[in-house]
């Protein structure tokens, strides 16, 4: 499936969840910022033109590790569950919010297993 077909109206609703999921996965293990690496782009007052700034070193390192194919795969998988309706089935293993929840939970459990105890995952039941 091509990227432009995946990001349709239906998929855009799942995009924030997918991006949050990806951000958690990418941020896991990323070193905390040492601070002060802002390249002097703060504003001095209202109306001052914003100058573009280069992302700090930690963010650049994280962005270098983003795999476009994995992002596409995550979005495609989330969209493949067919619906995000809160009253959709929670027991069907292939469709609805139950299937999506199970997939996200299982995927995050895989990250947690590799975290050496720094990450835990809990399934919410409400």
Q: What digits encode the pLDDT tens for the residues 2-31?
A: 444 444 444 444 445 556 566 555 555 444
Mean pLDDT over 59-67 rounds to 92
Centroid of chain to Cα 67: 12
Residue 68's nearest CA partner among 1, 3, 16, 14 is 3
Structure tokens, 61: 């390192």
Q: How far is 48 from 44, CA to CA, in rounded Å?
A: 7
Mean pLDDT over 18-47 rounds to 53
Q: Chain-wide mean pLDDT for the chain?
A: 76
Q: How far is 123 from 68, CA to CA, in rounded Å?
A: 28
Lowest mean pLDDT among 25-29, 46-50, 58-62: 25-29
* b/e map 45-64, b = 16+ CB within 10 Å: eeeeeeeeeeeeeeeeebee
Q: Look at residue 82 in the predicted model and tell me its pLDDT.
A: 93
User: Residue 102 has what DSSP assignment?
Assistant: H
The residue that leads in pLDDT, 45 or 109, is 109
Q: Long-range contacts made by residues 87-91, C-beta under 8 angstroms, separation at least 24?
A: none
Q: How far is 102 from 98, CA to CA, in rounded Å?
A: 6
Q: What is the reported pTM?
A: 0.54
């Amino acid at each position: 499936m091509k990227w432009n077909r995946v990001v349709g109206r239906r998929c855009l609703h799942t995009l924030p969840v997918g991006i949050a999921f990806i951000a958690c996965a990418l941020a896991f293990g990323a070193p905390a910022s040492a601070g002060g690496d802002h390249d002097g782009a703060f504003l001095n007052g209202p109306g001052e033109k914003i100058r573009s700034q280069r992302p700090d070193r930690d963010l650049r390192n994280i962005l270098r590790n983003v795999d476009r194919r994995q992002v596409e795969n995550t979005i495609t998988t989330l969209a493949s569950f067919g619906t995000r309706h809160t009253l959709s089935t929670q027991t069907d293993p292939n469709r609805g919010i139950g299937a999506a929840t199970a997939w996200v939970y299982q995927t995050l459990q895989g990250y947690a297993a590799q975290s050496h105890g720094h990450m835990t995952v809990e399934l919410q039941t409400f």
